[in-house]
């Protein structure tokens, strides 16, 4: 098997590079500080790209990436990657949300303490030869309220640190239930309540269209006069001009920023001149431990994704832990093959793809299987580059409604996937499941029960349920020197019509197909390619 190529365009700890270079699967190139035009020229050679925050992976670069399967960011967030363009191109985009959690949380809490006790200002005063003991009187954290906006990994860790200092926690996170927060000793509040009632406010949300500028003049006006505001998440979440104005007018007590609208910020950034504002140059993940952790984590996730061993921490594909992947992996194969099988049988323009899951599949997030099925259905029809990552987007662009249903009924088959495709000409239903050795099987096509192997070259025949059809098919294939690997039959309940699914060792020539179609009793004959 040809070795895959991985490009690392931002500096990555050696521990991560070592993981990628182990074995004979990958060639790893480290080309740091590439200019955008140079990256665009070479990206077509690579199967994976690993970046930190320095490389901007734009739509132009993604469009030039003819081989790229994975973009991995060694760090939290993917704001330097055009996620929409990656998804359209069918490229998995993943990050390392856990690798720098402790480092970033510690830095945020360090800034909380620095603000509370005026440590940077007092330090600068001492260095200047002064003894301004009374000038830098601080406040205690004990008994104060910390407002946490975004209670993910980092926000939760900061909250835990703060609880150790005797602080009360109020948190705003629309995706966290009150029950889960209560287990952590945290009160879930509205954004306005957090803003109005907190003594310190720390921000830990990603930068999105919804969160950009979420703390502006209006929100700052609601805050206590003694509030101190901390941002170690992303620049642009706090309106820097509104913050500078509030600090200058002493409407809030202080602020600490590790991230900025523009990085590095311009020299004339107003916040630089304000004594009550503590600034650090995006140091949240800048610890030796974090650099190693994110390098190791991204190396493992990129390697596993390229080798088909599961996808974790992806922004445009459902993440599967190792245990879930073991369960769903054979169903991903089943989904792709049942999709390809059905996509080649359906006639007319597809309007709806409806997938019903039963049995053990009800316990899991089956979206990856849905994506695999959608890819399988559309792949034979569309000539463009399509895979599981972009299949739902492509379906949506074409007005195809993809529906996912979890069935609570006890069906005819255990752990079954039922695919229903509705076109402007017909409705096709195909049932699939796994054999005892975890191999894909098609067990029903419309009303006909079969035991078909969806693999390789398949001759699919619908015929009248009359004697002699099997002999005609066998003779025609024998005369064409085509070997039959498997053959399965099924009848409608009325026994008026039947289905034959014939796995063959090679393609059936069009002349043989035409001859079979003209045979009395054969209603439909088509070659299917199910790899």
- pLDDT above 90 covers what percent of the chain? 72
Average pLDDT estimate for 511-516 = 93
**Mean of pLDDT values over 312-324:** 77
Percent of the chain with pLDDT over 70: 97
Q: How much is the average pLDDT of 426-453?
A: 93
Q: Where are the domains of the chain?
A: 4-98+290-306, 101-279, 320-446, 449-531
* Residue where the block lists tokens 């140079």: 38
Least confident of 157-171, 215-229, 279-293, 321-335: 321-335
Q: In angstroms, how far apart are the furthest CA atoms of the chain?
A: 106
Report how far residue 357's alpha carbon sits from residue 470's, in angstroms, rounded to the nearest whole number. Answer: 34
263 tagged catalytic: yes
From the list 234, 300, 303, 462, the catalytic residue is 234
pLDDT classification of 389: cutoffs 50, 70, 90 = confident
The residues, ordered by sequence, that sit 6+ positions from 164 with a Cβ below 8 Å of its Cβ are none
CB atoms within 10 A of CB 144: 19
User: Which of 177-191, 206-220, 337-351, 378-392 is predicted least confidently?
Assistant: 378-392
- Helix-helix angle 101-117:288-306, to 10 degrees: 150
Tokens encoding 469: 């059809």
User: Span 101-279: which CATH code?
Assistant: 3.40.50.720
Residue-level pLDDT at 30: 97
The CATH homologous superfamily to which domain 4-98+290-306 belongs is NAD(P)-binding Rossmann-like Domain (3.40.50.720)
Q: Do domains 101-279 and 320-446 have the same CATH topology?
A: no
Q: Is 234 a catalytic residue?
A: yes
Active site residue 282: yes
Q: What pLDDT does residue 477 have?
A: 93
Q: What is the CATH architecture assignment of 320-446?
A: 2-Layer Sandwich (3.30)
Tell me what the mean pLDDT of segment 215-226 comes to: 97
pLDDT attached to residue 49: 98
pLDDT attached to residue 175? 61
- DSSP per position, 381-398: T--S---TTTHHHHHHHT
What's the order of all strands across the beta sheet hosting 145-149? 187-188, 168-172, 145-149, 200-203, 228-231, 254-257, 277-279
Give 69-85 as a DSSP string: -EEEESSS--TTB-HHH
Residue 76 banded pLDDT, cuts 50, 70, 90:
confident
pLDDT score, position 387:
72
**Residue range 114-133, pLDDT digits in tens:** 999 999 999 999 999 999 99
Q: Which helix (H) or strand (E) is 201 found in, with range?
A: strand 200-203
Q: pTM of the prediction? A: 0.63
Tokens 């609208």 belong to which residue? 261
Q: From 57, 39, 48, select the one nearest 5 (Cα to Cα).
A: 48
Give the CATH superfamily of 449-531.
ACT domain (3.30.70.260)
* Residue 40 scores a pLDDT above 90: yes
Considering the candidates 282, 351, 354, 491, report the single residue annotated as catalytic. Answer: 282
User: What's the pLDDT score for residue 447?
Assistant: 86
> pLDDT at position 321, please?
67
In the set 217, 262, 263, 426, the catalytic residue is 263
Question: 3-class DSSP state for residue 262?
Answer: coil
Burial class (CB in 10 A: 0-12, 13-18, 19+), 387: middle
């Amino acid at each position: 098997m040809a070795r895959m190529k991985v490009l690392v365009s931002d500096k990555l700890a050696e521990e991560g590079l070592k993981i990628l270079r182990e074995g004979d699967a990958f060639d790893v190139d480290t080309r740091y500080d590439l200019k955008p035009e140079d990256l665009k020229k070479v990206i077509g050679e690579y199967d994976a790209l690993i970046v930190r925050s320095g490389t901007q992976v734009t739509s132009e670069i993604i469009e030039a990436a003819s081989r790229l399967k994975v973009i991995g960011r060694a760090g939290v967030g993917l704001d330097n990657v055009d996620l929409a363009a990656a998804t359209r191109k069918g490229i998995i985009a993943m990050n390392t949300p856990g690798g720098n959690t402790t480092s970033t949380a510690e830095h945020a809490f360090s800034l909380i303490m620095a603000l509370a006790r005026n440590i940077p200002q007092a330090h600068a005063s001492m260095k200047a030869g002064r003894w301004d003991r009374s000038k830098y009187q601080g406040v205690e954290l004990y008994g104060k309220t910390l407002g946490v906006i975004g209670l993910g990994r980092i926000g939760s860790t900061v909250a835990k640190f703060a609880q150790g200092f005797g602080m009360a926690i109020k948190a705003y996170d629309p995706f966290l239930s009150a029950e889960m927060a209560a287990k952590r000793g945290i009160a879930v509040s509205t954004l306005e309540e957090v803003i109005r009632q907190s003594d310190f406010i720390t921000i830990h949300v990603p930068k999105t269209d919804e969160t950009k500028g979420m703390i502006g003049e209006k929100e700052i006006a609601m805050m206590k006069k003694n509030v101190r505001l901390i941002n170690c998440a992303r620049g642009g979440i706090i309106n820097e001009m509104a913050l500078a104005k509030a600090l200058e007018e002493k409407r809030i007590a202080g602020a600490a920023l590790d991230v900025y609208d523009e990085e590095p910020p311009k020299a004339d950034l107003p916040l630089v001149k304000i004594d009550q504002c503590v600034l650090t140059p995006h140091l949240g993940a800048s610890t030796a431990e974090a650099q190693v952790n994110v390098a190791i984590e991204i190396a493992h996730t990129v390697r596993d994704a390229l080798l088909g061993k599961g996808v974790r921490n992806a922004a445009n594909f459902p993440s599967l832990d190792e245990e879930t992947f073991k369960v769903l992996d054979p169903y991903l194969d089943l989904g792709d093959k049942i999709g390809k099988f059905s996509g080649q049988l359906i006639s007319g323009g597809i309007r709806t793809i409806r997938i019903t899951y039963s049995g053990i599949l009800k316990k899991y997030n089956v979206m990856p299987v849905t994506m695999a099925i959608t890819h399988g259905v559309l792949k034979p029809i569309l000539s463009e580059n399509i895979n599981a990552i972009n299949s739902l987007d492509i379906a949506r662009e074409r007005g195809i409604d993809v529906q996912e249903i979890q069935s609570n009924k006890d069906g005819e088959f255990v752990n079954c996937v039922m695919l229903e495709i509705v076109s402007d000409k017909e409705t096709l239903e195909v049932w699939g499941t796994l054999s005892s050795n975890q191999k894909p099987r098609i067990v029903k096509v419309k009303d006909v029960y079969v035991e078909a192997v969806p693999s390789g070259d398949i001759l699919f025949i619908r015929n009248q349920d009359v004697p002699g059809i099997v002999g005609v098919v066998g003779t025609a294939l024998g005369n064409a020197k085509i070997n039959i690997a498997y053959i399965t039959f099924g009848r409608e309940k009325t026994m008026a019509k039947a289905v034959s699914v014939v796995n063959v060792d090679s393609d059936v020539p069009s002349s043989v197909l035409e001859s079979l179609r003209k045979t009395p009793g054969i209603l439909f004959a088509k070659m299917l390619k199910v790899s």
